[in-house]
Amino acid sequence: MHLNKLPLSGAGESLTTAKRIWMEGPTCAFQLAIRACITRSRQRPSPHRSLPPNHPPAAPGIPRAARPGQPHAGGEGGGAGGRGARPRAGPREVGAAWRGGCGLMQVFVTRRIPREGLAALSQAGVCSIQQWESDEPIPRSELLAGVAGKHGLLCLLSDRIDKEVLDAAGSNLKIISTLSAGFDHLALEEIKKRGIRVGYTPDILTDATAELSVALLLATCRRLPESVEEVKNGGWTTWKPLWMCGYGLSNSSVGIIGLGRIGQAVARRLKPFGVKKFLYTGSRPKPESAVEFQADFVPLAKLAEESDFVVVTCSLTPDTKGMCNKDFFSRMKKTSVFINTSRGAVVNQEDLYQALVSGQIAAAGLDVATPEPLPTDHPLLSLKNCVILPHIGSATYATRSAMSVLSANNLLAGLKGESMPSELQL
């Protein structure tokens, strides 16, 4: 058979033909020619990647050591790429040889996500997927173009879904599924007005975020990052009685702002450290939850005054925005440590900086900030008594994988007009 007669109308036909010719014993050069033709049939330049139903996607960016159930993970605010993802300067153009059939609903995915989630979408047989193929956030212009005419949108916390995006999508858009527990990036009033349903992933990241909260608290109060730097830069000269001393949890009082799922999980993990008393505040008392920790419901001001450690795990709402401000920090003990793993906007960062510089509080640990990422010249980054992480509360392989699957299942249920596993009630 001559090369120019190979049926290259689809990757499946090409592979079948190639296998038959291979068995007939072609020359090495002819084998290479066939491979080149097959490759060309799969690759057509496109800024997005299209996947049909029943076609499990490849998993770019998965570390070689990763096993099934361990997709790549990274900073929560920056998407699901991060650790294990191949470094790229920008979006990668991927061929779009696989195309959905007629009558399928159209879905746009705004980022590369763990493969389990994308596989759940593509194998469902109900939608054709277009995906922005990058670990980095999608440019605004590409988001507006990509969402046009789509029936479903799977987005991330870093994607601002506002009136402009909804207008660009048009009347087809019926479901938005966000791969996040938070939803302050969504214009909910506008979404509700248009009758669009919203899915999110609130429960899956509870354990991972609680673990990170405790780790950040310990790293901050025991000055671990500062100690590591001293070892590296030669500051460790000998043992000194008061050098690198911090504060311990034993016999302490811990105040939790927001005793929801994550707040309770944090308290549950801190209790074995010998915490003497738990305080909490929020929109209302939760005696059924507080009884496990013998936690007392108190006003915000009293929590600030009596806590040795303050952990913020509440949602961002109009009531909680800027809640931790100058007045709040002025009420805290000079030996207190402040931890925030909720949302950056809950804290007035200028007031926090002044509290740390003046010695009003001992230290702070943040997994969230405003903006994200925090500029490298931000004043908070200059302080030894402020530990800042890049929003990695949910960054475990298992958690990010489960979040991607739940967001996919939310999207599929919305497309089919069924009840979502986790729907945000608007």
Query: And the tokens for 76?
Result: 């929560």
Exposure class string for 197-217: b at 16+ Cβ within 10 A, else e: bbbbbbebbbbbbbbbbbbbb
Percent of residues in the chain assigned helix, strand, coil, to nearest 5 = 35, 15, 50
User: One of 48, 72, 151, 391 is an active-site residue; which one?
Assistant: 391
Local structure of residue 379 (DSSP, 8 states) = G
Q: How many CB atoms lie within 10 A of CB 381?
A: 12
Q: Are strands 127-132 and 48-51 parallel, antiparallel or unpaired?
A: antiparallel
Q: Could you tell me if 415 and 174 are in contact, meaning their C-beta atoms sit under 8 angstroms apart?
A: yes
Q: Could you tell me if 14 and 33 are in contact, meaning their C-beta atoms sit under 8 angstroms apart?
A: no
In the numeric block, the tokens 């057509």 are attached to 44
Our answer to whether residue 391 is catalytic in this structure is yes
In the numeric block, the tokens 């159930």 are attached to 69
| Cβ-based burial of 190 (10 A; exposed 0-12, middle 13-18, buried ≥19) | middle
Q: What span, in angstroms and rounded, lies between the C-alpha atoms of 256 and 295?
A: 9
Three-state SS at 278: strand
- Which residues are tagged catalytic? 391
